[in-house]
């Protein structure tokens, strides 16, 4: 089966840098994705890593180490609007196809 | 281009009642998904459809049925609602089942009394 572990909560102050870790177990790895969800809203795609290394998109970066079954999301120059839940996700496969399986999410609280 | 739409936005049911949650996407995506989200549990996959004409069970399919009506529409049916099905339901779509970017609808908040 598949499982993902990420911290339940992280707190930080405006302007700081925060890292949200994700470890996964999966049979057949197709890449690690990150999604952001504000309170009351829908999840939105942030980034995707299929290969080892760092992917940068503005203030957000995502890292993957396939040998360690580990990845992280790095948020820099934190802003109040970054307060949200962040989910890592992996593609899971079965005989019928593949689907994204999500972790339980990390709630990030940014204070001034 | 509306993306992924869901109806209704809110619903209250009594135990034993049935209802269908509707989902439609206008992005010409092949794959569609139904998730439920409960506090502290993240997003759990109920059913998905890799392409028109196919459906498959996810992590928590019991008590639900789905229909992939056509390429655009994917509905979720609760035949006999139970309080344990109180949740927020999200529909999502993805260009291909082998993709990595899912687009989510706004969600349906369902309460079963």
* Three-state secondary-structure class, residue A50: coil
Q: Do A48 and B100 touch (CB under 8 A)?
A: yes
User: Tens of pLDDT along A20-33?
Assistant: 999 999 877 888 99
pLDDT value of position B18? 97
**Per-residue pLDDT at A41:** 95
For chain B, say whether A112 makes contact (Cβ under 8 Å).
Answer: no
Across the interface, do A99 and B97 touch by the CB < 8 Å criterion? yes
What is d(CA B96, CA B31) in angstroms, rounded to the nearest whole number?
Answer: 6
Percent of residues in chain B assigned helix, strand, coil, to nearest 5: 5, 50, 45
CA distances from B24 to A55, A62, A91 (A): 32, 31, 23
Residues 52 to 71 of A: which have CB under 8 A from any B CB?
none
DSSP summary character for residue A69: T
How many whole angstroms separate alpha carbon B64 and alpha carbon B55?
12
The nearest alpha carbon in chain B to A95 belongs to B56
Test B33 with A87 for CB contact under 8 angstroms. Answer: no
Nearest to A96 among B56, B105, B107 (CB): B56
| Residues in chain B with pLDDT values less than 50 | none
The string of pLDDT tens digits covering residues B72-92 is: 999 999 999 999 999 999 999
In the prediction, which pLDDT does B1 show? 74
Alpha carbons B41 and B54: distance in angstroms, whole number: 27
Both structure tokens of A76:
């820099």
Can you give the pLDDT at residue A95? 46
Find the residue in A nearest to B33 (Cα). Answer: A99
The pair phi, psi for residue B3, each rounded to 5°, is 80, -125
| Closest C-alpha among A6, A9, A4, A7 to residue A108 | A9
User: Given CB atoms, is B103 within the 8 Å cutoff of chain A?
Assistant: yes
Q: How far apart are CA A96 and CA A37, in angstroms?
A: 29
In tens, the pLDDT along A52-110 reads 999 998 999 999 999 999 999 999 999 999 999 999 998 766 544 567 889 999 999 99
What is the model's pLDDT at position B95? 86
Query: Given this model, what pLDDT does residue A27 score?
Result: 78
Q: Is the peptide bond before B25 cis (omega within 30 degrees of 0)?
A: no
């Amino acid at each position: 089966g598949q499982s993902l572990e990420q911290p339940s909560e992280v707190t930080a102050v405006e302007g700081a840098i925060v890292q949200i870790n994700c470890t996964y177990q999966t049979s057949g790895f197709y890449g690690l994705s990150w999604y952001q969800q504000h309170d009351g809203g829908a999840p939105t795609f942030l980034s995707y890593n299929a290969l080892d290394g760092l992917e940068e998109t503005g203030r957000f970066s995502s890292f993957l180490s396939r040998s360690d079954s580990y990845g992280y999301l790095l948020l820099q120059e934190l802003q109040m609007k970054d307060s949200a839940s962040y989910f890592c996700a992996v593609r899971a496969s079965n005989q019928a196809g593949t689907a994204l399986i999500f972790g339980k999410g990390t709630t990030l609280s940014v204070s001034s | 281009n509306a993306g992924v739409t869901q109806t209704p936005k809110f619903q209250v049911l009594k135990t034993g009642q049935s209802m269908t949650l509707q989902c439609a996407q206008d992005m010409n995506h092949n794959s569609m998904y139904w998730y439920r989200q409960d506090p502290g549990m993240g997003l759990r996959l109920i059913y998905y459809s890799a392409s028109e004409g196919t459906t498959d069970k996810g992590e928590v399919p019991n008590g639900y049925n789905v229909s992939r009506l056509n390429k655009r529409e994917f509905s979720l049916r609760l035949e006999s609602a139970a309080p344990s099905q109180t949740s927020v339901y999200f529909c999502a779509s993805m260009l291909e089942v082998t993709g990595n970017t899912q687009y989510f609808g706004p969600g349906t908040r369902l309460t079963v009394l």
